[in-house]
Structure 1
């Protein structure tokens, strides 16, 4: 077993967040719950890639990435010249610090310096509800899925009111992509009930256990 070293540990308004190093990889822990690490990244990259594939050929679509995480989704977006504006909403100052010249800069550094990229320090749930900006794609990865949230307040994002707010943040024909640690048929039903169309789930096999999933849906055109 690789030794685990805690590189940073902070208490904030949403609880405890820590960055740990396990061998050559880094992992983020929130309130004692493992969120993600740098060992793979396929599903986090698919989150952005699948959203772009769902869009039509509109020029320079704008994407909102919910959660900076370890930076895989941002790196995927910045590596694709088709994207226009790239906004990343992250509520934890610690996570932003770990990327800004910190250990995670090796994943996201070039993407952060891309002229299209903006890092917004805000709570995603509030931002989706209150912001006026609209996007062609929302790529959301702030929990272990709709059925396993990091904090209780995040659950409202997947509620009827939260999904209606997501619809308002999307342009006509825009795409919502939501990462999950396991497929959620109940969330598919909730997307349909909220007025989304073309609801489907892509699964990503993992080494052990149930597959990761990316839930995809469109705002009607």
Structure 2
């Protein structure tokens, strides 16, 4: 007697045309996945790398920096925001997200359970804006920038994002950082070229921290400090 097993199914929960193309939220088994223009961005399977992104930035700040302000670039599935909001050491937590759909999914949708407490935190502010434009135009400054809007400096979701990792983009990041502030950039793979670009842009203490994965090349967080 043979036993029939259900086929793997993927259910699309929402599909929209956003300001930068198609954005999809889908469920695969017990995982929620975000897909942008056909490119897989992230899912709810782990969150270690998003948490490390936030912790590594905080650990790299000077010990005397009380309640530092952080800008998180990209709301995603909410792991970075939730982790930052759970840490009382952070001060103001600003999240910049360009996709209205993702913000909606967190405020009143399938991702609410991951971020409701963090969104209710009085330190939290959600800014609906393109991160690259925001970095170049805002006058606000922060103690840390935690950026996770692409699969890495060498694998961007849209061509416009390439500016963020260029000399001009890194100069804008430095301008948004207070003296001694930390830039932390998530990537699906190491990038020696990006490390060189960071050093050439005047950042110091440039290093790459690996996040072990089950198989394949480790995820990484690129870290750099704005000179005093």
Q: TM-score, normalised by structure 2?
A: 0.96
Selected match of 2:54 from 23, 48, 62: 48
- For 1:24 and 1:42, how far apart are their aligned partners in 2? 18
Give the distance between the partners of 1:63 and 1:146, measured in 2 at CA. Answer: 20
Residue 8 of structure 2 corresponds to residue 2 of structure 1? yes
The residue aligned with 2:131 is 124
Write the mapping of 1:140-155 to structure 2, written as runs, cut at 5 A. Answer: 140-155=147-162
Matched, 1:20 2:44: no
CA displacement 1:46-85 (0-9 Å, x = unmatched):
0001000001121110000000000000011001000000
Deviations 1:175-217 (A, max 9, x none): 0000000111110000000000000000011122111000000
Correspondent of 2:146 among 133, 139, 143? 139
Alpha-carbon distance between aligned partners in 1 of 2:217 and 2:227, rounded to the nearest angstrom: 31
What is the aligned counterpart of 1:195 among 185, 202, 214?
202
| Stretches of structure 2 lacking an aligned partner (at least 5 in a row) | 1-6
| Matched residue, 2:3 | none
Distance (whole Å) between structure 2 residues aligned to residue 16 and residue 183 of structure 1: 28
SS in 2 for 1:146: coil
Q: Let me know the Cα RMSD of the aligned residues.
A: 0.7
For 1:1-221, what aligned pairs fall within 5 Å after superposition? Answer: 2-56=8-62, 57-221=64-228
Number of aligned residue pairs: 221
Give the TM-score taking structure 1 as reference length: 0.99
